[in-house]
Amino acid sequence: MTNTVSMTVNGKPVSGTVEPRTLLVQFLREHLGLTGTHVGCDTSQCGACVVHVDGNSVKSCTLLAVQADGATVTTIEGLANGNELHPMQAAFREHHGLQCGFCTPGMVMSAVDLANKVKNPSEHQIREWLEGNICRCTGYHNIVKAIKAGATVMQGGKT
Amino acid sequence: MSADGIGAPVRRTEDLRFLTGRGNYTDDINRPGQLHAYLLRSPHAHAEIAGIDLAKAKQAPGVVAIFTGADLAADNVGGLPCGWGVKNKDGSPMAEPPHPVLAQGRVRHVGDPVAVVIAATRDQAKDASELIGVDYKMLPAAIEASDAIKPGKPQIWDAAKGNICFDWHIGEKDAVDAAFKKAAHVTRIDIVNNRLVPNAMEPRAAIGEYDRGTGEYTLYTTSQNPHVIRLLMGAFVLHLPEHKLKVVAPDVGGGFGSKIYHYAEEAIVTWASAKLGKPVKWTAERSESFISDAQGRDHVTHAELALDRDGKFLALKVSTVANLGGYLSTFAPAIPTYLYATLLAGTYTTPAIYCEVKAVFTNTVPVDAYRGAGRPEATFVVERIVEAAAHEMKLDPAELRKRNFIPKDAYPYQTPVALQYDSGDYFSTLEMAQKAADYAGFGKRREEAAKRGKLRGIGIATYIEACGIAPSAVAGALGARAGLYECAEVRVHPTGSVTVFTGTHSHGQGHETTFAQLVADKLGVPMASVEVVHGDTSKIPFGMGTYGSRSLAVGGSALVKAIEKVVNKGKKIAAHLLEASEADIEFKDGKFTVAGTDRSKAFGEIAFAAYVPHNYPIDTVEPGLDETAFYDPKNFTFPSGAHIAEVEVDRDTGIVEVVNFTAADDFGRIINPLIVEGQVHGGLGQGIGQALYENAVYDGASGQLLTGSYMDYCMPRADNMPSFQVATHTTLCTHNPLGVKGCGEAGAIGAPAAVMNAVINALGPLGITDLAMPATPERVWRAIQSQSPRRAA
């Protein structure tokens, strides 16, 4: 049995035929070739697959592709404005908030959602927010710094 | 210092692709017509395979083929080789049982691969695997190493009597025994170094592809050392010559040791791709990573330290049982021996040391190097026993350490356990850490915490590590079955841009930036004109990969040698163009200049002349500017440092919070301080993880890994970690051209002992003097309860 799904991904209309069990992350990676969204676990803990669905950060391994039918999805590939990095991406680079890069897309997408929802998040708020994103490389120190700086820029401030 | 030269905190080149979703990890690669493999793994820790029924599975939708161990044996596929042989106390070789790619008649741990299903899609392969009927005849299992060596326990290998792989020792036992007789005080401890699951965030993956037209094989794999995989898989497993086998390790999402080894799946997809004439792809699910990636640590140790009346260390005696799991992983024998016991002198002048190690097979996942590999285990033994001695002798732990430090004018310093340290300054790093952590002000903070009902503790760990393992001949004499040099090629293009080919591999370490910085600095070209290529055996002459904090110390040294060759050739070309003597040509800031004149040629002009040799010393100098160098280190490098942890314990819940963590490290010369700090942070995260959260727990009877997912195995999260204070103090390595030592493992080495010393310090007022890692809330709460009168419910 297959289903047809249609959604808007990174501003473009897309559609495809999927099995009922196909996860949103599989649809993004395997059907659309958007391999920036990663799969780091099979229990919805690691957050490497975080994307935005209708403006909220979502673990794309926790949603079936059919559940996203009609939704607006933004992945890490859709975050930058052409060659200009999104302020959160730029902050991760500036503050060395990534090493191997595998958790990074999920971290950045999660961080952007935090900055959209919470004005000037404190270190404590950032650390609590990242409960669902695991990084094995950085000890989180520079990720927290980067998110604080990125959030400030997103809210019109300077770092 | 130029803006992007040596010492500058240059932002990383590789970040742009990782931040925009354009990384290229193995699972991101898809080959035309590829099939998908799924491995059926043993659900039992120990069992005979009486039969395998594939009939139903072969009929399942999408299935192309199913292979078992019998198919591989029929095709003469070899076992996975072990890269290091250790000898027993009596000089006899260790037990070295086979390590089949797919199980041959018996399974020896949960997760042992039994069959591979290859189908059109991954889901079809997985669905079909559930239709395979395996007739397992269950056997009793041996799980804990210290238990597995007792008489009457299940035997895992006929070749390993009593499950012992080897019974090894190092040091002078007689000298140690004599010193203990003279001791004014002896401190004794029993410690467990908990087993860890490396958990690089990218699960392992592999794609095999065979080209019938050329007879060439390509393996894409998540590896820290593609050339080593090519050698091991080509020579020992599939019997393929190097020139017909290409191994590509593209972007790799973390390794921490777990991606050093040659794994079964790499051989399976490569072999199957030729059998089926189509590319075959396999990607681990995280649950598979837990039961198939080599794990780390797992030592049980008894140690005794002899001290004189003044607290000077007289001798150290250590006895360790190390768990190797069900099979010998690639470098497993080296970890609890030459990377562990040789580090037991630590930062101290202890004149006599003896260590014996029994390495044991058990029905668990194989154990091998994990970040630090042997050195965290050694540091934990030394720094826990020193702390315990200070407590027993009522001495300040910092003071006791300082009394026993190797003085900074004592180098080169020969330890009693084989290593010769070339440089260090342990007083300065400890002083730096004490100052940054306000060690003197701890008493006040403890009082203040007590007012809030919290138990506050402080703990120190100093460490030494041996990095950039070397020289090849010495490692060979100790059992290494490979060389430990590194290779670099510097290819200067006609217009002066440069491609660097390095045999090391970056999987988070930022080599593309650090190495480019180095080249830019040495050749005086813009960093943007330097490309660093790694991870492809068809492009890079050779290499041993990245592990043991070796990339800059060994790979960077090879790179410096290749750069020197480029400069020397450039001088010959410049001498010709400038009509001067070669001896008069100086190279600085990208210019070849006739000494004492303003006559010069830019680096780019020389490169152009080398490729367009119209006016050229063609009789004596070959055209082109492309140099390769191999570097075999003269010694290990010895990074060192002092870490101080401060914790608060909630007495009602047992929750430990790290409220402050300070690290002062000596890594020799630093090329990029931003990257070095990041490496320290990451190591600290893993070290704190080991001390407080992480533990691979097997059921003692069934051998099931109880912590087999992120729901059970506690990976440190952002809200478990403090902000870190890190600083460096530099003494240069004396024997490599850059004076660099390596920084990748330091955090994971120092942090566990610092944190546990702090936790035990916090609990000290309750009468608690020992606690096992990880100091989970439950363990801490139980320890507190065991000391307190039971409260009325």
What tens digit of pLDDT does each residue of B52-110 get? 999 999 999 999 999 999 999 999 999 999 999 999 999 999 999 999 999 999 999 99
Instruction: Flag whether pLDDT at B792 surpasses 70.
Output: no
Q: What is the pLDDT of residues B654-705, one digit of tens each?
A: 999 999 999 999 999 999 999 999 999 999 999 999 999 999 999 999 999 9
Look-up of token digits 């997408």: A109
Name which of B11, B287, B507 is nearest A93 (Cβ-Cβ).
B11
Q: With b meaning 16 or more CB within 10 Å and e meaning fewer, what string describes B264-295? A: bbbbbbbbbbbbbebbbbbbbbbbbbbbbbbb
Query: 10 Å Cβ neighbour count for B241?
Result: 10
Give the pair of three-digit tokens for residue B347: 């930062």
Distance CA B446, CA B646 (A): 10
Q: Which of A102, A107, A148 to mutate to test the interface with B (most CBs of B within 10 A)?
A: A102
Query: 10 Å Cβ neighbour count for A84?
Result: 9
Nearest CA-CA partner of B89 in B200, B10, B179, B168: B168
Give the pair of three-digit tokens for residue B129: 């695997």
Q: Minimal Cα–Cα distance from A131 to chain B, Å?
A: 6
Distance CA A63, CA A16 (A): 16
> Closest-CA residue in chain B for A28?
B28
Name which of B11, B715, B717 is nearest A94 (Cβ-Cβ).
B11
Which sign does the torsion angle of CA A156, A158, B4, B10 carry?
Answer: negative
Give the pair of three-digit tokens for residue B2: 């130029």
Taking an 8 Å cut-off on Cβ atoms, the answer to whether B25 and A45 are in contact is no
Instruction: Flag whether pLDDT at B1 surpasses 60.
Output: no
Taking an 8 Å cut-off on Cβ atoms, the answer to whether A93 and B23 are in contact is no
Mean model confidence pLDDT for chain B: 97
Name which of A79, A93, A139 is nearest B12 (Cβ-Cβ).
A93
Helices vs strands, H then E, count in chain B: 20, 28
Phi and psi based region of residue A139 (left: phi greater than 0; alpha: psi -120 to 50; beta: remaining): left
Mean local confidence (pLDDT), B281-296 = 98
Name which of A98, A126, A130 is nearest B15 (Cβ-Cβ).
A98
Name which of A96, A101, A143 is nearest B253 (Cβ-Cβ).
A101
Instruction: Flag whether pLDDT at B791 surpasses 60.
Output: no
Q: What is the pLDDT of residues B490-544, one digit of tens each?
A: 999 999 999 999 999 999 999 999 999 999 999 999 999 999 999 999 999 999 9
B793 pLDDT band (50/70/90 cuts)?
A: very low
B744 pLDDT band (50/70/90 cuts)?
A: very high
A159 pLDDT band (50/70/90 cuts)?
A: low
Q: What is the pLDDT of residues B745-759, one digit of tens each?
A: 999 999 999 999 999
DSSP string spanning B590-648?
TEEEETTSS-EEEHHHHHHHHHS-SSS-TTTS-S--EEEEEE--SS-B--EEEEEEEEE
Confidence check on the interface: ipTM exceeds 0.95, yes or no? yes
Q: Minimal Cα–Cα distance from A134 to chain B, Å?
A: 6
Q: What is the pLDDT of residues B333-367, one digit of tens each?
A: 999 999 999 999 999 999 999 999 999 999 999 99
Nearest CA-CA partner of B785 in B654, B658, B648: B654
Q: Which of A83, A85, A100, A109 to mutate to test the interface with B (most CBs of B within 10 A)?
A: A100
A1 pLDDT band (50/70/90 cuts)?
A: confident
A157 pLDDT band (50/70/90 cuts)?
A: confident
Q: Minimal Cα–Cα distance from A19 to chain B, Å?
A: 10
Task: Sort out which chain A residues have CB atoms less than 8 A from B287's CB and list them.
Answer: 42
User: Counting every residue, how long is chain A?
Assistant: 159
Distance CA B759, CA B771 (A): 8
Q: Minimal Cα–Cα distance from B18 to chain A, Å?
A: 5
Taking an 8 Å cut-off on Cβ atoms, the answer to whether A100 and B507 are in contact is yes
Distance CA B220, CA B226 (A): 9
Task: Sort out which chain B residues have CB atoms less than 8 A from A48's CB and list them.
Answer: 201
> Closest-CA residue in chain A for B204?
A40
Alpha helix ranges (H) inside B664-792: 673-692, 746-763, 777-787
Taking an 8 Å cut-off on Cβ atoms, the answer to whether A35 and B719 are in contact is no
Distance CA B731, CA B187 (A): 32
Q: What is the pLDDT of residues B549-602, one digit of tens each?
A: 999 999 999 999 999 999 999 999 999 999 999 999 999 999 999 999 999 999
Q: What angle do CA B449, B451, B457 make, to 5 degrees?
A: 25
Look-up of token digits 């997985």: B126
Cα separation of the two ends of chain A? 53
Q: What is the pLDDT of residues B171-198, one digit of tens each?
A: 999 999 999 999 999 999 999 999 999 9
- Classify residue B257 by its DSSP letter: T
Q: Helix (H, G, I), strand (E, B), or coil: what is residue B214?
A: coil
Distance CA A126, CA B119 (A): 43
CA B325 to chain centre: 18
Is this prediction's pTM over 0.95?
yes
Instruction: Flag whether pLDDT at A71 surpasses 80.
Output: yes
Share of chain B above pLDDT 70, in %: 99
Distance CA B61, CA B70 (A): 24
Phi, psi of A128 (to 5 degrees): -65, -40
Cross-strand pairs, B660: B646
Task: Sort out which chain B residues have CB atoms less than 8 A from A100's CB and list them.
Answer: 200-202, 251-254, 507-508
Q: What is the pLDDT of residues B623-654, one digit of tens each?
A: 999 999 999 999 999 999 999 999 999 999 99
Query: 10 Å Cβ neighbour count for B446?
Result: 19
Strand order in the sheet with B47-53: B106-107, B47-53, B133-138
